[in-house]
Amino acid sequence: MSVRSVCRDVELFLRGLARELPGVFPRPARRPPAGPRRAGLRRPSPEELAPARELINARAAHWAAALGLRYNRVSVKAQRTLWGSCSRRGNLNFNWRLAGAPPEALDYVVIHELCHLREMNHSRRFWAHVEAACPDYRQRRRWLRLNGASLMAGGPGAANG
């Protein structure tokens, strides 16, 4: 028996005990929210989120059609550190602050996440897909590295240059 299977068996046993004896195994308290949010990491208002959602959805639909790819759903969120992500189920997530980036930078992130539908990693094959769709992706990626902090701090419109 491997260590992994023993650990899994112990975990399942303890979960069963916790269900049978809730008084002995109380559920852990939820973590309180972290300290006050920094000004730039606030949640967007619905008025700010709506145009970002519309723009990002339109760009995802455009590039998915151009690349012959199909995704499940697009979500626009107030992530603290990510520009975008792609789940194994084909769900695409984008940071609402991308709406304030130049169209080229936004399109790069959309293309990047769509290419994860082909390769769920950052292998050479993945980057080859990105480069085929966006030959100047390195410049667009560099723009995000150089201007991302100001874009994160101010939301859409903060670093549009």
Predicted TM-score (pTM) of this structure: 0.72
Least Cα distance to 98 among 59, 142, 69, 139 occurs for: 59
Q: Name beta bridge partners: 95.
A: 77
**Residue 97: predicted pLDDT:** 93
Cα 86 to its chain centre, rounded Å, is 7
| pLDDT at 34 > cutoff 60 | no
Q: What is the mean pLDDT of residues 97-119?
A: 96
Cα 47 to its chain centre, rounded Å, is 21
CA pair distance 151, 140, nearest whole angstrom: 14
Retrieve residue 120's tokens: 């769920």
Confidence of residue 30 (pLDDT cuts 50, 70, 90): low
**Residue 28: predicted pLDDT:** 63
Retrieve residue 109's tokens: 């992130």
Confidence of residue 39 (pLDDT cuts 50, 70, 90): very low
Q: What is the mean pLDDT of residues 120-146?
A: 96
Contact between 109 and 99 under an 8 Å Cβ cutoff? The reply is no
Domains and CATH numbers, the chain: 44-154 (3.30.2010.10)
Q: What is the mean pLDDT of residues 77-99?
A: 93
